[in-house]
Copies of this chain bind each other. A is one copy, B any other.
Amino acid sequence: MPPEQTFTPPSEIDARIQGLQASLQQEGVDGALIVQNTDLFYFSGTIQQAHLYVPAEGPPLLMVRKSLERAQDESPLVNILPLPSPKKLPDIIDEHGLKPPAVLGMELDVLPANNYFAYRKIFPQSDIRDISVQIRTLRAVKSPYELDLIRQAAAFSDQIAGLMPNLLQPGMTEIELAGLVEAQARRLGHQGIARMRLFGAEMFYGHLMAGPSAAVPSFLASPTGGASVSPAVAQGAGFRKIQRNEPILLDYVFAWQGYISDHARIFSIGRLPRMLVEAHAHMLDVQEHVKKMATPGTTTGDLYEAAVEMAQEKGLAANFMGAGDDRIRFIGHGVGLEVDEFPFLAKGQKTKLQEGMTIALEPKMIFPGKGVVGIENTHVVTPAGLRQLTRAEEQIVTV
C-alpha cells in the first residue's frame, strides 16, 4: 500500500487562525493578507493562487484565482470564494461585513516590492505593515499534529541514512550517488521541494559531497557548500569521483507532507585520518552539551556561545562552522514547513526557547582540502532539553 496525502484537520487550522488573530490584536493590526505559499498552506491547508484574508476578529476569507476547486477540496476553511482579480479584494472584504483594514498586515519579508506597490494601490486607505516576524514566531512552536509529521519525516531520514552503505561505491561521482539516494527518498514519498524563506536562499535536497569538494564554501548561510555541478547552482553534489579514505557527507532534508527533517551523517570507504575522526567525535560532544542546555527559557545566542567555547577549548575554533572568512555564526536553526525557520541558534540572538520548537542542530568542522565532519539532527525542545528525532548511527560509518 503506498502512503496517502495528509490533509490538515479543521481543528489545526482553527488553532492557527486563532493564534494569528491574537497576535494581530496585540499589534493593532486590523487584518492580515496572506499570499506566500508556505503561509497559505499553514493557515488554510491549501496552496493555490490565492489570498487569505484574516481579520483580527471573525472568520477568514480564502479568495482563489486558481484552482478554486482544489482549494475547496483541500482546505477546511468555510469561506472559500473565487477571486477574479486582486483589485476585487476590498469589495469582497466589504461584502462579507468586514470593515476596511486601517492597518493591513502582509508578509513583507518575501513579498516583492512591485507586488507591494500594487497592494498599496488596491488598499489606498490602509497602512501596510510587515507581520512576517509574528507569523514566523507563531509557526516556530509546533502542535502535536505537526510534531507527528516531523517525526515521520525524521524516520524517513533515518531510512535514507541506513541505505547509504548499500548505494556507495568507490569511483562513482557525487552526483551519481546523489541521484540514487534521491530516488530512494522519492520512493518513500519525499515531496521534492524544500522551501527556504530568506531572499536568495535555495536548496535541492541538501549537500552530498566527499572529501575536498564538501569543504568548498557557498553563498548559502550554511557551514557547507559544495563544488557542485556548475557555478550556476554553486552548492551540493558535483562531478568529482568519490575516493577511499575521505569523509562523505550526507546532509539532506526529508520533506514529508510539507514538513522537513534535517540531518547529516558521515560515511567513508576505508578509514579516515585520525584528525578527522577526533574532530567528528568532538562535534558529537558539542551536540550532547547543547542538547542538555537547550531547555525552555534558554537564550538561543547562549547556546551558540557554548558551542563555540567547546570548539575553542579543543583548538578547533578556526574550522568550526566554516573556515576563515566563510565561517558562519550559528549552530542550528528551526525547521518545519521551511528549512530556515525560527529560532536561530546564532550569535547575539535573544530569542528564548519554547517547548515544541523544532531545531536542526548542526555542529560541523570544515577542513579545506580535506573535507567535512560533524553531525546534524532534528530535535524538539522539551523540559528535559532537546529530544532527538533523527536517530541513525552517529559514528562515522565505514563501508
Contacts and interface: CB of A to CB of B under 8 A. Distances in A.
A211 to B, nearest CB: 15
B186 A6 contact: no
Interface in A90-141: 106, 108-117, 130, 132
A217 interface: yes
A362 to B, nearest CB: 17
A48 B74 CA distance: 38
B326 A66 contact: yes
Identical chains bound together, number: 2
Interface residues of A, number: 86
Interface in A171-185: 173, 175-176, 178-180, 182-185
A112 B114 contact: no
A160 to B, nearest CB: 12
Interface string A56-89: 0000000000111110001000000010000000
Nearest to A70: B217
A114 B110 CA distance: 8
A46 interface: yes
Given A217-B66, A217-B70, A186 B182 contact: yes
Nearest to A108: B113
B234 A70 contact: yes
Contact of A2 (B178, B205, B239): B239
Interface string A137-173: 0000000000000000000000000000000000001
18 contacts: A7-B231, A35-B200, A37-B202, A49-B219, A66-B217, A67-B326, A70-B234, A108-B114, A108-B117, A112-B112, A176-B187, A178-B186, A189-B239, A191-B228, A191-B233, A193-B204, A230-B258, A231-B258
Interface of A: 2-8, 35-37, 41, 45-50, 66-70, 74, 82, 106, 108-117, 130, 132, 173, 175-176, 178-180, 182-187, 189-193, 195, 199-200, 202, 204-205, 216-219, 225, 227-234, 236-241, 256-259, 325-326, 337
